[in-house]
Structure 1
């Protein structure tokens, strides 16, 4: 499907909307910028549903972005401060009902077979930074900031921060970022390896789309198997890592795209890869 088509859900009511900006490229936009796109339960429910739709329609690239001045502002703090909230002074509910729900959604981003890109238009703090860490790539507006700020308010970055940050920036830098709770400038995020690239705010969307289109020349099966193997090999070594790579080769070679790629190379033409082939 070519061209821009917003999901029919009313953006004024929904915390997120799905848009197909090109064939194979989906974009989920968080629409409550006026309230900092915080991670509410209805935010999680909607994003989870949209992720299932993206998977069902076999997107090849997924872009996540925000609105207003915020990419995603992290946890809904009133859940912890409102005496009427079921999470108020309830450690078990905070862990089992809220953080687990966040992990369930963010892990769908992390485990997606397609390429995932965080297009960070504004602040990505706390849970917002964790959502960005769940993506394969993080393109960032050069005026904004990101960071795991939980230690500044007595909390913990358990929705992906402590699990993923060291894999992205290394343990020493991860400790510095997570323990100090600083808000990193875009330049600092790039220097730390947290951001993939920086762009002027008015060019971020087009730069993200251009980056996304670069993956359309690649085999969806090869991308899916390569991603899965890379992430699995982060936690193992030696023969176990070799076996993961061998299993990925077997999966890729069992699909039609391997043979289409080989034929195209031999025939000196561009291969034709389509998700779902």
Structure 2
């Protein structure tokens, strides 16, 4: 039986997803793509998991597509479509991350290249180490950004800078990543998981429904008109106001104590 390429751990309401192919810098092959998608769906459906951390085992977060995996297909004489690979493998993963109605934090413990960088961009927060490098490596082999990079990267850093990063395929180091808004904070390597988990636990203790609605609102806010956003905010406020967590928040405020949210 093959070793699991994706590991899920649960800690105090946080689901920690670890990419587990450290010998190849967590490059994505067929098995990992399938296991990651299934794990994300499992996490989304688990009411006990109220925040998610995505990270990599070893020295890298994810080096992107495993090109050796594709070479094997070609050597066997099998037909291969890059477009279908993106549609069937990566797009569902990105949709799960971005559509997760729970906070998702990428703990980027090293290089994040190609689709690996795209997965980090799709997360809500990126905590990185000094050795982290984000690389839009697609152009280095004559390809274009995929897995959502064309959507997320301009929103994070602006159109001009996104074009420059994507067209040159250059490394973006940790200091620059924070300065241009590509990452939230740089953390020493030995403290990365502890600090990320502490942050994730705080979010997991929050009003989960409201956090999910905030995530939806921010995505729509970048694209819709003011009138559409005003109506959406009223609709989302109605939904949030019907939750048990809203009642608990008001009760805690009047009683001058910290609220205990249940994610309902």
What TM-score do you get using the length of structure 1 for normalisation? 0.89
Aligned to 1:44: 33
Relative to 1, partners in 2 of residues 1:41 and 1:150: Cα closer, same or farther, differing over 3 Å? same
Structural mapping, 1:104-115, within 5 Å = 104-115=92-103
- 1:99 deviates by 4.1
Aligned to 2:57: 67
For the Cα contact (< 8 Å) 1:99–1:158, is it kept in 2?
no
For residues 77 and 248 of structure 2, the distance between their equivalents in structure 1, rounded to whole angstroms, comes to 55
Does 1:21 pair with 2:11? yes
3-state DSSP class of the match of 1:124?
A: strand
- 1:267 deviates by 1.6
Partner of residue 223 from structure 2, selected from 235, 243, 249: 235
Relative to 1, partners in 2 of residues 1:87 and 1:70: Cα closer, same or farther, differing over 3 Å? farther
- 1:253 deviates by 1.1
For residues 196 and 68 of structure 1, the distance between their equivalents in structure 2, rounded to whole angstroms, comes to 22
Aligned to 2:120: 132
RMSD, matched Cα: 1.7
Relative to 1, partners in 2 of residues 1:149 and 1:249: Cα closer, same or farther, differing over 3 Å? same
Structure 1 residue ranges without an equivalent (≥5):
1-9
Aligned to 1:249: 237
For the Cα contact (< 8 Å) 1:118–1:138, is it kept in 2?
yes
Runs of 4+ in 1 over 6 A off after TM superposition: none
Please give the per-residue CA displacement for 1:44-93, whole angstroms capped at 9, x wherever unaligned. Answer: 111111112212222111000001121001012134434236776x4xx2
- 1:245 deviates by 1.2
For residues 44 and 235 of structure 1, the distance between their equivalents in structure 2, rounded to whole angstroms, comes to 30
For the Cα contact (< 8 Å) 1:80–1:87, is it kept in 2?
no
Please give the per-residue CA displacement for 1:154-193, whole angstroms capped at 9, x wherever unaligned. Answer: 1111111111101111111111111111111111111111
For residues 217 and 32 of structure 1, the distance between their equivalents in structure 2, rounded to whole angstroms, comes to 31
Relative to 1, partners in 2 of residues 1:123 and 1:87: Cα closer, same or farther, differing over 3 Å? farther
For the Cα contact (< 8 Å) 2:63–2:112, is it kept in 1?
yes
Aligned to 2:133: 145
For the Cα contact (< 8 Å) 2:107–2:196, is it kept in 1?
yes
Return the structure number with greater relative CO, CA threshold 8 A, min gap 6.
2
Relative to 1, partners in 2 of residues 1:248 and 1:203: Cα closer, same or farther, differing over 3 Å? same
For residues 173 and 150 of structure 2, the distance between their equivalents in structure 1, rounded to whole angstroms, comes to 20
Relative to 1, partners in 2 of residues 1:145 and 1:161: Cα closer, same or farther, differing over 3 Å? same
What TM-score do you get using the length of structure 2 for normalisation? 0.93
